[in-house]
Structure 1
Amino acid sequence: MNEEQARRVVGDINAYLQQKLWFDFEVMEYQGDTLTIMGSLDISAPHDVEIRFKGVFFVSLPLEWKTDTATPPLRLMAGEEAVGLNQRFKVEQGHHIFRFTPEYYPEDFGCLVCAQAVSFEVMTPVS
């Protein structure tokens, strides 16, 4: 997945998530090189969305977190911030760094996933 494709998918994910005031996220599964994160309005109910990262290089995030969707909850890192993380984690070419913005954490805290590709599947349409 190239950078433009990754940006487009991140935009689609945010468009879906921002239809609600918040989303709770939880690491659902990490198998092979694929990380699946589920999102829902209520973790005790069936989840609404699955976000899959393929070709995972590194992950730095809590197993569960809450996100206020007033601002985009997921972004593709770019610029100096991405360069710094690339150097720090020795990221291999062809990977992108994605960042969730969790609620109740310091502003510089990021839920980071470095992967080659991202996709999502809506399990429950937003009503």
Structure 2
Amino acid sequence: MEISEITKVVEDINKFIRNQPWLDFEVLQYDKQKLTIIGCIDISNLHDIEIVFEDIFFVSLPIEWKTDTSRPVLSVLEREKAIILNKKFKVEQGHSIFAFAPEDYPDDFGCYVSAKKIAFKLISEK
């Protein structure tokens, strides 16, 4: 995926999240090169959003976390932060580093996914 496509997907995900009172996230599945993370308001119902990363290089995040939806929850690392993690994890060219901002963790906690592709799907109960 081109960086412009990735940026647009991340913006759309954050737009949806921003309109929710809160969201809890969890890793639903990791299967070879595909990671699916879901977000939901109420765990007793279907989840509200699925975020799918493909062609994974590395993952560093808790299995479940809460978010503060009043600020961006997902970003693509750039410049110095990306360079530091690229060197630390020896990230192969073509992979982006995505960062989640979990609530109740320090800002430098490091909730990351490095992947070539990202997509999302909104889940409707209706």
Distance of 1:113 and 1:77 partners within structure 2: 10
Say which SS state the counterpart of residue 105 (structure 2) adopts: coil
How far off its partner does 1:124 sit? Answer: 2.3
Aligned to 1:33: 33
Percent of matched pairs sharing the same residue: 50
Give the TM-score, by structure 2 length. 0.96
What amino acid maps onto 2:106 in structure 1? P
Give the TM-score, by structure 1 length. 0.95
Aligned to 1:117: 117
1:33 and 1:54 in contact (8 A); partners too:
yes
Distance of 2:23 and 2:124 partners within structure 1: 13
Distance of 2:70 and 2:87 partners within structure 1: 31
Distance of 1:29 and 1:63 partners within structure 2: 10
Aligned length: 125
Aligned to 1:7: 7
Q: Is 1:92 aligned to residue 92 of structure 2?
A: yes
Alignment gaps of 5+ in structure 2 = none
How far off its partner does 1:45 sit? Answer: 2.0
Distance of 1:103 and 1:116 partners within structure 2: 26
What amino acid maps onto 1:99 in structure 2? A
Distance of 1:42 and 1:106 partners within structure 2: 25
What amino acid maps onto 2:11 in structure 1? G
Distance of 1:57 and 1:42 partners within structure 2: 31
How far off its partner does 1:2 sit? Answer: 1.4
How far off its partner does 1:21 sit? Answer: 2.4
**1:1-55 alpha-carbon deviations (Å, 9 max, x no partner):** 0111110100011011111121100000001200000100122321011000000
